[in-house]
Structure 1
Amino acid sequence: MAVSGKVVHYDPNRGFGFLAPEEGGADVFLHINDINIDEDSLRPGAKVSFDIEETDRGSKAVNVEVTEEAPADDSAGGSRPHRRDDHHGRGHRHDERGGRRQRGGLDAAAFTEELTELLLDADDDLTARQIVAIRQRITDFAVGRGWVLD
């Protein structure tokens, strides 16, 4: 049964990413070996239709089709520079327009995207299930403390 959702993250260099089901729940892992579409269409914010297959390593998306391209503007999750280039080691992030994001200035979705990038960079051996679980617990913690806007 096809599920509707959006692309949360896709890294063409690593060949995987995550899709968020429209009805909610955990993000679903997406791997290049399970798609037969142009990877360039898998930008954050693109609407997709996909089937979910359960594996021994967790849920993964198969039969992925892009139903609507990602919005052109950055506010809806469009293209952005690689985060590895944004690290300055000073406790502040600079957004793609050069402005600083102050503590508590990120919403939960933007925080989750930032956190996904950090987890993907941290360890190549993390599974999709581990990334989703860690990300959810940290996001809930940050929202509960008021560090991230819900």
Structure 2
Amino acid sequence: MRRESMSPCGFVKWFDPDRGTGLISQDGTGPDIQAEVRAIHDKGPHMRPGDRVLFDITHDSAGLRADNIRRPEGSRSHHGPGQDSDGQAP
């Protein structure tokens, strides 16, 4: 296992709390990164689509994986463009 880079930023593309897996889209260019519930540093609510996150990238035999997933300081969870706190469009 090799740690590639420290603290890239991106957003949660999707996350399935029942399976404990999802994808994070990196800011800028780069492939989507696999995310697992065990790698979430913040023990608050589950990640939701549109949440901004910081993470470390690890490369292992399965490919790229996000580790140490956390929200940027002062950042609140948001639920995607044009949605309010219950995930519905205003």
TM-score for the superposition, normalised by structure 1? 0.46
Corresponding residue number in structure 1 for 2:3: none
CA RMSD of aligned residues (A): 2.6
Shift of 1:33: 2.2
Segments of 5+ residues of structure 1 without an aligned counterpart are 81-95, 98-150
Shift of 1:2: 1.1
Correspondent of 1:46 among 35, 46, 51 = 51
Structure with larger RCO (C-alpha < 8 A, sep 6+): 2
SS at match of 1:17: strand
Larger radius of gyration: 1
Contact map agreement 2:42 2:70 (CA 8 A) in 1: yes
Segments of 5+ residues of structure 2 without an aligned counterpart are 1-5
Give the alignment of 1:1-150 within 5 angstroms: 1-38=6-43, 40-67=45-72, 68-71=75-78, 75=82, 80=87
Shift of 1:74: 5.8
Distance 2:59 2:41 in 1: 19
Stretch moving more, 66-75 or 30-39: 66-75
Answer 1 or 2: which has greater strand percent: 2
For residue 23 of structure 2, what is the amino acid of its counterpart? F
Give the number of aligned pairs.
Answer: 82
TM-score for the superposition, normalised by structure 2? 0.73
Q: Percent identity?
A: 26
For residue 66 of structure 1, what is the amino acid of its counterpart? R
Distance 1:7 1:19 in 2: 5
Contact map agreement 1:44 1:79 (CA 8 A) in 2: no
